[in-house]
Amino acid sequence: MFDVVVVGAGPAGSMAAKTAAEKGLSVLLVEKRQEIGTPVRCAEGISKDSLSRFVEIDRKWIAAEVVGAKIYAPDMTEVVLAEEMAGNEVGFVLERKIFDRHLARLAAKAGAEVFVKTTALGFERTEGGLKVKLRRLGEDWEVETKILIGADGVESRIGREAGIIKTLKMSEIESCAQYLISGIDIDEKYTYFYLGNDLAPGGYAWIFPKGDKSANVGIGILPSLAKMPAKQYLDRFIEKVGVRGKIVEFVAGAVPVYGEISTAVTDNIMLCGDAAYHSDPITGGGIANALAAGYHAGVVAAEAVEAKDYSAGFLRRYDERWKSDFGLKLRRNKKLQEFFLKLDDATLNRLARSISGKKIEEMSVQAIIMELLKTNPSLIEVLKDFFS
């Protein structure tokens, strides 16, 4: 019998388990993989502020530190953004194999039980709460809990069984492929983003340095717009930009680009991170929001235990907190994503050219927008919406 069972030891789950345990709850964190953090299905970029909000920075899990982002239009017009303007994924490139394990260790240190190689198969409602079915090292187990936190990633089993989320449509998910390439020759002070409807339909390609001449080189595409699998787009991108080096790892994965869901709770259950589609609809970045959502879920779990109220009505305060934290950004970036999807390559080139070469790091966001509007007055409608 636990106060809280958390399913999934990614950033969202470990942060939820750590927070709830620190508040004195009995917590079980289960992870289906044998080793937390591997395989890494992530380009590992995160802004410094988003990270330091929740964890003390430890150089052991920082692979690289960057000063900004270089964005390339389809015709390779370059726009350079300083780190502070480049969003939630630019600042540090993590070593998630170590980072995710570190977070799970913090949860354990705070008092949570951590079970690896343990898959949550589902749950049943009981009079006092929930019975969670687990398969641990080939054996079936059942644990009782008052609160279940689903942090089980994209296509969350807990979320679907609870009826909070549905299977995503092909237009609501980015399909991603990524190589870790060693011996790459790039300026390691930047992360690189490449746009283009032909290059990466509905998404973009990236190169994120990991130090020591290695980098995550990947691509995300919207399957609803793509003509072939993500890996083929990735190989074509590598050929096109002339990336050299040795491929030492390959991963494929998916990330929700849904926008804001109306609720991430039902009686006794909260969802956080990718399970609640908390990743950014423009960039697909989800670590920052996963950490934030995990934190809020852990705090609300403690309040629910204190109030002895696990109803959806009570847990809705978790919705209020994650929405006031980053809900507006999810909504705005969903609108912006829909707008970008309508732009053809010629327009993307024109937009990039209108600000390329300007000292963007010295400009305010408003000044950049004014520059864009000067050459692209049709942007006014969407930008008005975006900033209202």
Q: If binding means CB under 6 A, how many residues of this protein chain bind ligand FAD?
A: 40
Interface residue with ligand FAD, options 285, 297, 318, 333 (CB under 6 A): 285
Residue 18 binds to ligand FAD (criterion: CB under 6 A): no
Question: Structure tokens of 88?
Answer: 């939630």
Look-up of token digits 């400009």: 363
71 binds ligand FAD (CB under 6 A): no
d(CA 339, CA 330): 14
SS3 384: helix
* Candidate residues 12, 110, 130, 269; the one interacting with ligand FAD per rule CB under 6 A: 12
Minimum CB–partner distance for residue 332 and ligand FAD (Å): 17
Q: Of these, 2, 4, 10, 204, which contacts ligand FAD (CB under 6 A)? A: 10
Backbone angles phi, psi at 263, to 5 degrees: -145, 150
Written as six digits, the tokens of 288 are 């920052």
- The CA distances from residue 118 to 33, 133, 219, 289, in Å, are 7, 10, 31, 25
Per CB under 6 A, 106 contacts ligand FAD? no
Residue 132 φ/ψ region, left for φ over 0, alpha for ψ in the -120 to 50 degree band, beta for the rest: beta
Q: Which stretch binds ligand FAD (CB under 6 A): 2-10, 197-205, 241-249, 378-386?
A: 2-10
Residue 77 interacts with ligand FAD (CB under 6 A): yes or no: no
Q: Does 215 bind ligand FAD (CB under 6 A)?
A: no
Name the 3-class secondary structure at 197: coil
Selected binder of ligand FAD within 30, 69, 71, 352 (CB under 6 A): 30
Q: Which is nearer to ligand FAD, 7 or 270 (CB)?
A: 7
- Report if residue 42 touches ligand FAD, rule: CB under 6 A: yes
Residue numbers 162-191 binding ligand FAD by CB under 6 A: 176, 178
Where does this chain touch ligand FAD (CB under 6 A) — which range of 193-201, 249-257, 334-342, 355-363?
Answer: 249-257
**Which lies closer to ligand FAD via its Cβ, residue 229 or residue 357?**
229
- In whole angstroms, how large is the CA radius of gyration of the chain? 21
Phi and psi torsions of 54, nearest 5°: -120, -20
Is the CB of 101 or the CB of 146 nearer to ligand FAD?
Answer: 101
- Nearer residue to ligand FAD within complex by CB, 265 or 355: 265
Strands (E), the chain: 2-7, 27-30, 45-46, 62-65, 68-72, 78-82, 92-94, 113-115, 118-125, 130-136, 139-150, 173-182, 190-194, 204-211, 214-221, 246-256, 265-266, 269-271
Q: Which of 273, 281, 298, 327 binds ligand FAD (CB under 6 A)?
A: 273
CA proximity to 147, closest of 272, 304, 316, 292:
304
Smallest distance from ligand FAD to CB 381, Å: 29
Neighbours of 48 (CB within 10 A): 16
Taking the complex as a whole, the smallest distance from the CB of residue 221 to ligand FAD amounts, in Å, to 11
- Pattern of binders to ligand FAD over 110-149, x per CB under 6 A? ---------xx-----------------------------
Q: Which is nearer to ligand FAD, 153 or 202 (CB)?
A: 153
- 330 makes contact with ligand FAD (CB under 6 A): no
How many residues does the structure list for the chain? Answer: 388
Q: Rounded distance, CA 28 to CA 26, Å?
A: 7
How many Å apart are CA 352 and CA 360, to the nearest integer? 12
Applying CB under 6 A, among 2, 8, 51, 259 the residue interacting with ligand FAD is 8
Minimum CB distance to ligand FAD smaller for 191 or for 349: 191
Q: Interface with ligand FAD includes 89 (CB under 6 A)?
A: yes
CB of 231 to ligand FAD, least distance (A): 11
For residues 345-384, which are near ligand FAD according to CB under 6 A?
Answer: none
Helix, strand, coil tally for the chain in percent (to 5): 35, 25, 35
Separation of alpha carbons 160 and 145, rounded Å: 19
Q: Are 285 and 11 in contact (CB under 8 A)?
A: no
Instruction: Enumerate binding residues for ligand FAD (CB under 6 A).
Output: 7-13, 30-33, 41-46, 89, 119-120, 151-153, 157, 176, 178, 218, 253-255, 273-275, 279, 284-288, 290
